[in-house]
Amino acid sequence: MAATLRSTVIFLCLATDVAKFETFTRNYEYFNQSMIDPPNPEAELKAENSATVSNGALQITPDTSNPSMFNYSYRTATFKTHFLVIMYPVPSSDSSPGEGLAFLIAPTIDIPAESYGPYLGLTSPSTDDVKNNGIVAVELDTVKQSFDPDNNHIGLNVHSIISVVTKSLTPLNITLAPPTPTFHNVWIQYNGTEEIIRVYIADQPERTSSTYPTYPKKTNHRIQSRFKENWLLVLGAYLGYYLYKKRLVERSNSYILSRLKTLPGMPKEFQFKELKKATNNFDEKRKLGQGGFGVVYHGLLSGDNVEVAVKWFSRESLKGEYDFLAELTIINRLRHKHLVQLLGEFQTLKSYMTTCYRWCHKNGKLLLVYEYMQKGSLDMHLFTKTGNILSWTLRCQILAGVASALNYLHYEYDQKVVHRDIKASNIMLDSHFNARLGDFGLARALDNEKTSYAEAEGVIGTIGYIAPECFLTGKATQYSDIYAFGALLIEVVSGKRPGTRMNGFQFMVDYVWSLYREGHILDVVDERIQDDYDKEEAERLLLLGLACSHPMAVERPQTQAIVQILSGTLAAPRVPPFKPAFVWPAMMPIDEISESTSIDTTSIDTTPFSINQF
């Protein structure tokens, strides 16, 4: 008998403690011997007896066992599983079919001795019908024993190979082991509170899913092929846990709604059906883009004939509702001509023709609606293979707009705001190519008197725009925003992404620094512009880009100086011919040291080190 499993395997375990839960995920696109114990004792998957890997799939006859999942609370669990199975006789000298297949829940992964034949690998003569053997199984039986109704039935086994309940499949025109291969979908659901198990079977394959517990089978030296193509197991705590979580979600939804409606200047709520109609039921063809926080769709509001962009935030993409509300509060209060802005009533959109956010909350989803930016994002124009190339004048105009917005966030707003994700794709352009800094999904407002550091789980941002100190601290500051702006500045002037490799250099900033040292810094200017640019201005902008990209955070210019340099009212900054080494810990101004309360100095190695090519 042969059986294989081919699919992506996903595990989800929920602890029974109502206050906590844990999840883990494993994706297996294929299988090989190194993933199985034996031969690899460190592998996550354990094979018993003759179970092995064949042709990139798990061959699970006569048995496959995997690490058991224990319910340490001793409460009855609720679970559901789905698998797609195919069983059929294989021609051989012995044409008798195999015994069948069973879905098993057992306290151990050990296979009982002498459990072949009618015992299906579940029990043995010495362990069958023993109350403490702890087994529960659903069998798909293809051989009639004296205690079976026929050779084509489903049975529920508790402690014993003799089923407590059976159901013949013949009246349903379902044959488990037909002469020709046939797919069968099997669903098993158990409600631990009601103590009811439900089993469903259909001979038409449906949408496939994935996961794994244990599937024992015994052949009694007879041959039968089974292929498990797909299976899904979600093992959860009892029904009370589900109800507890449901109440939390409902409470969370109420909290979100109450907070949204009390935000200062918050626009009125859209009806979900309005946005559904505007985007043609969120048609894939209307999709403008997709990021870590949601999907953006192009929409047209009926009646007003106004183009909008609808950003749908999925709950799963957010770290938490409270974090999201904090971010939305930031956007709601910001007011600057070079930022995407939250406004009031819908009439404001038509009067000012500026970015207007609206919102809609339905079934745990949050949607923001803002003015459709006709020219799209900056990166679309910098790296277009068709259409017009951005002129030098427009490039300078865009950079000046972004610098003005950044200065507002850092110094003109009543709190320090760190954007944390400045890059070309987050800069939107209106019909006149005026820059609008958007996507505040990672932004954080900081108390001026406390700290200039924003908490972050790991390194936040895009490679090439991330300051070197962020890789050590995991935190973003105003200085790291300046570093990202420096990368953007070089990107706009050169027409090349920050991570473009040039002459052996991994990042553009290192290549530009080498050209500056050799006296050929203008060689990096986008060749598509040809000579249609101001050489003195180009050199000033490139030097500013290098200054903003200084490895040491405190050596970078502040936004007030950046705005003046871009306007030509302040001379270009002095830049050393060789890129300075990155040294940590860095010397910071006294006021900055007193503010950086989030850094635990007792846990930092104070021995300086340098990375010349960070």
**Catalytic residue at 421?**
yes
Pair 357, 341: CB distance under 8 Å: yes
Separation of alpha carbons 307 and 316, rounded Å: 28
Helix (H, G, I), strand (E, B) or coil at 535: helix
DSSP helix/strand/coil, 476: strand
533, 392 Cβ separation under 8 angstroms: yes
Beta strand 165-168 with 358-362 is unpaired
**Which one of 421, 481, 510, 526 is the catalytic residue?**
421
Backbone angles phi, psi at 352, to 5 degrees: -100, -15
DSSP 151-210: SSEEEEEESSSS-SEEEESGGGT--SS-SS--EEEEEEEEETTTTEEEEEEESS------
Check: CB of residue 286 under 8 Å from CB of residue 311.
no
**Is the distance from CB of 340 to CB of 402 less than 8 angstroms?**
no
Structural contact between residues 459 and 480, judged by C-beta atoms closer than 8 angstroms:
no
Cβ-contact 229, 7 below 8 angstroms: yes
Contacts of 595 (CB under 8 A, 6+ apart): 449, 450, 451, 452
475 labeled part of a ligand binding site: no
d(C-alpha 89, C-alpha 100), whole Å: 11
Backbone angles phi, psi at 64, to 5 degrees: -135, 135
Q: In sequence order, what E strands does 405-549 have?
A: 416-418, 427-429, 435-437, 444-446
DSSP 410: I
Which of 230, 189, 228 is closest to 101 using CA atoms? 228
What residue type is assigned to position 353 of the chain? M
Binding residues for ATP: 311
The residues that are catalytic are: 421
